Structure 1
Amino acid sequence: MGLKHDKVVPGREDRVAACMAHGGCASGMGKQDKICLKNNERTFSQAGLCQLLPTLGMLLTLPDTAVIVHGAIGCGSTGFGMNTAIRLHHVLRGNPNAKDSLWFTTNLDESDVVHGGEQRLEETILTVAEKYRPQSIIVLQTCTPSIIGDDLVGVIEKVRPLIDIPLLYSHCEGFKTKVWATGYDVAFYAIVHGFIEKDKEGPPPKKGPRQPGERPVVNVINLASMGKPDEIEIERLLNEIGIDVVIGPNFANRETVRRMTQADLTVSVCPTHDDYLVDYLHTEYGIPFVLKDMPIGLANTRNWLLDIARHFGLEKKAEELIEREESKARQAVQRFLPALKGIKVFISAGEFRAVVTGGLFQELGMEIVGLRSYHHDEFGTEFYEQLVRAQQGKDFPVDIANFQPFELINLLQKVKPDLFCGHVYDNGWAAKLGYPTITIFRIFDHYVGYRGFYEVAKKAARNLRNPSFQKRLGENVGSAYRPEWYQQSPFAYIKTDASPAAAA
């Protein structure tokens, strides 16, 4: 159907045949039948993530917006954990007086489960609009009101004429999908329908042909893939070859979101995040797109820039820029290369960031010995094969897991990397084993483009030079698991339609 016509956002299991459980080798990822991968399960699961978290993480970034979580108070409380990061984002964007995010919960209780929560939702919307006067309101329906049959759309349409600001909504029930990344699609749904399709001014008209001498405009979808330093780097590179940039929808107001419908090209920074919105802008507004690379590392940044430049006949300017920037970047990292050459690294993150970061490490002379992706879909498949080829065919294990630290710890003890690169909650597990760690993404850091190439090399060399904290932690923290677990395959609890999982 597509983003515009979907009444409820489909789970990524159905929309892109996403997989949440798989263990095997990198060289085999392209040979797996994606439908079979989709059906993989675990007989034991230690952890997981609800799609509500990435949805809230996106929508709370919208300026002067109130988010109402319709459900039990526990669901809404996830907003606490995101507030600090979002305030820091605003500070990095030049607003030192950034306020806390506005989020509310309808706090459904046992009585509401029996009698329904529609009245409470209606009252909450009107109260928030009157008392806090946000520029827009977003309502997310969670599991409880969906199970008892609350009519979210009915309440929204009843209240919409009573307030004079955009009213956004989306179904975000965690039980409907195991693929947490569906939450990004849920956020896109709310933004598109609230700021474009059902806006009081109606959808913007399609943009006419670009006038002679008019600079091309490119949408760059920032989502959860970039902090402000990375946005500055991308804008710098595209501006230098003659392209103007609109960055959104994270931290974008209504006007910026609507301006995205008038671009000449949409560019993804992370295809696995962005395809739902990219397809909408292409289908409804005829905007072509680039949806295959992430500008991390020299080769991927080169490919990403050239793909954009070709749309506007700017290849020559792009090639000149790339040659200058690559030369400076290679020269800048020379002093780190002796410390990095031959280092064995394990990567853990969302799939696309993990595989392209693997390419960056290989460009620095490092070897990939293991990779854990939070989920798998078609966008990452070819990159596994590229990583194996870059190591002259030297394979490595891949774990597709929505966290599952018991699998990660087992795998780390088998491959024994020299360096672990993951998100902060992954790094804690690796550090307790004594492995040096670096964070794969922080909002303060440069990670994309040429500045990112340099900063990652510097960070890796620095942490390898002084791993004393992790070493002492490993010497003084006991194992979280029994010794018997380490004798098994890390994939022992993954099952397919055909058979139990293969060994590592």
Structure 2
Amino acid sequence: MSKLTEDLTYDYLSAEAAPTREERIGACNAFGGSCQSLKVGMGQGCTKYNSRKFAQGGGCQLSLALGIVRSFQNSVTIIHGPLGCASTNLSVAGVTKTARILKQKQGTDNVWIHTNLDENDVIAGGIDKLRQAILYAEKEYRPDAIIIGNSCVPGIIGDDIDTLLDELDGQIAAKVVPVHCEGFKSKFVATGYDSAYHGVLKKLVDPVKKYDKVIPDEVADAREKYILSKTVNLLNVGSTSYGDEVELSRLLQALGLNVRVLPLYASIDEISRIGEAALNISICATHDDYLTGHLKERFGTEYVIDTLPIGIKNTNQWLRTIAKFFQLDSEVEQLIALETAQLEKALEPFKKAFKGKTVFVGGGETRIFTTAEFFQSLGMKVLGLKPHNFDRFAVPMIDDIDDPDAVIDVAPGQPAEELNVLNRLRPDLYVGHTGAHAWVTKLGIPTVPLFGQSFNYMGYSGAFELARKAAKKLKNTSFSKKISANVLLPFRPEWYESNPFDNIKEFDNIDNIKEAHIKEAQG
């Protein structure tokens, strides 16, 4: 729907696997400097910010891909790889179970199998183990779908899972979905989302036929039909809570739209009919652009992907874009006026706690920019941001940050880098992705989670909850102070004295950026 999406072409389903994000979109995952310098570089088409002399750690594409496919109802997930590749399933078992109970009218167990490849399999190949696992899953569970997550090891040794699936064709009643998410192929962990949706689009979305990017002439009539029906797909992601889905569905239903929340935790039948909608509504471009782009080319379905509905400004923008498609401009303005007035009144008591305070936000690119803009609207100053990656979808969001000299550290993982930045900036509040809070608390900085399955973050009610949590944390900072006073920092003092971006081949000097902040504070 936005200008950013018009230039992208999605023509990849004839291949066995999705292309890497290095090939597909302009992006970077290694940059340190100011928001302004990154924007200028990206605006000039510079995507070379992808090299580090040393990398501490990053994400796993298999984990991101499994986060989507393992949620499907009445499905079995087979993790083809060594035992360690299946370990993340244990860590998210509780979250997945809770989400299934909340989001499914009829809950089903999260069933997964791993092929447990060992040293002998690395030499002889693991196809026989995978064949046994597929046949076992079919016989034991009779699922609607069997989904195979292909990890790094079988990708390196050359296990041909697609040929195996051709061999088993006709022997398996379930739809078998290969997901090629070998992490060594790309530096961008978000490629895992593309890998999952590549398999889903090829094997689960009806009509299951040879990919044809030519949209039939009847699509105009179909579009009118679906506009009249006002059926929309609200595309959920792993970080959206049940409360988020309820809030966003409430707002869309207030406009008279028929809302279907999917694909996570949906049935295979619901996923097969994902093309039967007037509009696909994304809440995360990083997560959804591969899916929405292909659905438009196959079915002619338009999509909204230009922001994430966190805070007043971005929720309003999200709703207006959706309403414009259905020609509901007057209706959406009435809804926005009512909701905004109520929210601003509810937020007023918190603004005193935020006045003059500073914040640093780390996590997924679209989520951190919209979250930072919201705290900025409450009177806080954004000192810095740490996106996992940065691409064309986030470029316009830089303009929402008032301070062009705000630090930006583009890094998947890299906690040492982030802690060095935070130790220099010393924000009053840190809002960040799962896994970072224990590290940050040791610096004595209060933290608020960027998302959570038990809380509402999106829409108008989500804005209130996010402000309430942050104000509560700023009111009582004794926990983080006591942790800092009694727990050693995880790195040597010499590291905190060095430039945190020295390991990045393209960077700005953070000392100059910090000096600009100090001068501004001194007037």
TM-score w.r.t. the length of structure 1 is 0.94
| Alpha-carbon distance in structure 2 between the residues aligned to 1:212 and 1:352 | 29
Instruction: Kindly provide the amino acid, as one letter, of the partner of residue 292 in structure 1.
Output: D
Please report how far the alpha carbon of residue 197 of structure 1 lies from its aligned counterpart in structure 2 after TM superposition: 5.6
User: What's the counterpart of residue 314 of structure 1?
Assistant: 328
User: What's the counterpart of residue 281 of structure 2?
Assistant: 267
- Counterparts of residues 480-495 of structure 1 (less than 5 Å): 480-495=490-505
Single out whichever of 218-227 and 167-176 deviates more from structure 2.
218-227
Instruction: Kindly provide the amino acid, as one letter, of the partner of residue 348 in structure 1.
Output: G
Q: Tell whether the 8 Å contact from 1:185 to 1:276 is kept in structure 2 after alignment.
A: yes
Q: Choose which of 433, 436, 445 in structure 1 pairs with 2:446.
A: 436
User: What's the counterpart of residue 398 of structure 1?
Assistant: 408
| Alpha-carbon distance in structure 1 between the residues aligned to 2:77 and 2:291 | 21
Q: Tell whether the 8 Å contact from 1:246 to 1:260 is kept in structure 2 after alignment.
A: no
Q: Choose which of 465, 468, 477 in structure 1 pairs with 2:475.
A: 465
Q: Tell whether the 8 Å contact from 1:57 to 1:82 is kept in structure 2 after alignment.
A: no
C-alpha change, 1:212 and 1:21, in structure 2 (3 Å) is closer
Q: Choose which of 132, 142, 146 in structure 2 pairs with 1:137.
A: 146
User: What's the counterpart of residue 4 of structure 1?
Assistant: 13
C-alpha change, 1:163 and 1:486, in structure 2 (3 Å) is same
| 1:149-188 deviation digits (Å, cap 9, x = unpaired) | 2111111111131111111112111110111111111111
Q: Choose which of 295, 317, 338 in structure 1 pairs with 2:309.
A: 295
Please report how far the alpha carbon of residue 279 of structure 1 lies from its aligned counterpart in structure 2 after TM superposition: 0.5
Instruction: Kindly provide the amino acid, as one letter, of the partner of residue 39 in structure 2.
Output: G
C-alpha change, 1:213 and 1:168, in structure 2 (3 Å) is closer
Q: Tell whether the 8 Å contact from 2:36 to 2:404 is kept in structure 1 after alignment.
A: no
User: What's the counterpart of residue 114 of structure 1?
Assistant: 123
Aligned-residue sequence identity (percent) comes to 36
User: What's the counterpart of residue 349 of structure 2?
Assistant: 335
User: What's the counterpart of residue 353 of structure 1?
Assistant: 367
Please report how far the alpha carbon of residue 241 of structure 1 lies from its aligned counterpart in structure 2 after TM superposition: 0.9
Instruction: Kindly provide the amino acid, as one letter, of the partner of residue 144 in structure 1.
Output: V
Instruction: Kindly provide the amino acid, as one letter, of the partner of residue 244 in structure 2.
Output: D
| 1:289-337 deviation digits (Å, cap 9, x = unpaired) | 1121111111111111011111111010000000000000001111111
SS at match of 2:405: coil
Please report how far the alpha carbon of residue 211 of structure 1 lies from its aligned counterpart in structure 2 after TM superposition: 4.6
User: What's the counterpart of residue 49 of structure 1?
Assistant: 59
| Alpha-carbon distance in structure 2 between the residues aligned to 1:257 and 1:99 | 16
Instruction: Kindly provide the amino acid, as one letter, of the partner of residue 278 in structure 1.
Output: T
Instruction: Kindly provide the amino acid, as one letter, of the partner of residue 120 in structure 2.
Output: S
- Counterparts of residues 82-101 of structure 1 (less than 5 Å): 82-93=92-103, 100-101=109-110
Instruction: Kindly provide the amino acid, as one letter, of the partner of residue 47 in structure 1.
Output: G
SS at match of 2:169: helix
- Counterparts of residues 22-421 of structure 1 (less than 5 Å): 22-33=31-42, 36-93=46-103, 100-196=109-205, 199=208, 208-211=222-225, 214-388=228-402, 393=403, 395-421=405-431
| Alpha-carbon distance in structure 2 between the residues aligned to 1:119 and 1:89 | 34
| Alpha-carbon distance in structure 1 between the residues aligned to 2:287 and 2:56 | 25
C-alpha change, 1:122 and 1:132, in structure 2 (3 Å) is same
| 1:328-378 deviation digits (Å, cap 9, x = unpaired) | 000111111111112101101111100010111011111101111111111
User: What's the counterpart of residue 450 of structure 1?
Assistant: 460
Q: Tell whether the 8 Å contact from 2:255 to 2:332 is kept in structure 1 after alignment.
A: yes
SS at match of 2:422: helix
SS at match of 2:78: strand
Q: Tell whether the 8 Å contact from 1:20 to 1:38 is kept in structure 2 after alignment.
A: no
User: What's the counterpart of residue 521 of structure 2?
Assistant: none
Please report how far the alpha carbon of residue 230 of structure 1 lies from its aligned counterpart in structure 2 after TM superposition: 0.7
| Alpha-carbon distance in structure 2 between the residues aligned to 1:397 and 1:201 | 47
Please report how far the alpha carbon of residue 64 of structure 1 lies from its aligned counterpart in structure 2 after TM superposition: 1.7
Instruction: Kindly provide the amino acid, as one letter, of the partner of residue 458 in structure 1.
Output: R
| Alpha-carbon distance in structure 1 between the residues aligned to 2:92 and 2:277 | 31
C-alpha change, 1:152 and 1:331, in structure 2 (3 Å) is same
TM-score w.r.t. the length of structure 2 is 0.90
SS at match of 1:158: helix
In the TM superposition, structure 1's runs of 4+ consecutive aligned residues that sit over 4 Å from their partners are: 97-100, 197-207
SS at match of 2:394: helix
Q: Tell whether the 8 Å contact from 1:51 to 1:180 is kept in structure 2 after alignment.
A: yes
Q: Tell whether the 8 Å contact from 1:246 to 1:256 is kept in structure 2 after alignment.
A: no
SS at match of 1:77: helix
C-alpha change, 1:198 and 1:263, in structure 2 (3 Å) is closer
Q: Tell whether the 8 Å contact from 1:297 to 1:448 is kept in structure 2 after alignment.
A: yes
Q: Tell whether the 8 Å contact from 2:73 to 2:268 is kept in structure 1 after alignment.
A: no
Q: Tell whether the 8 Å contact from 1:13 to 1:38 is kept in structure 2 after alignment.
A: no
Instruction: Kindly provide the amino acid, as one letter, of the partner of residue 242 in structure 1.
Output: G
SS at match of 2:222: coil
User: What's the counterpart of residue 514 of structure 2?
Assistant: none
SS at match of 1:403: coil
Gaps of 5+ in 1: none
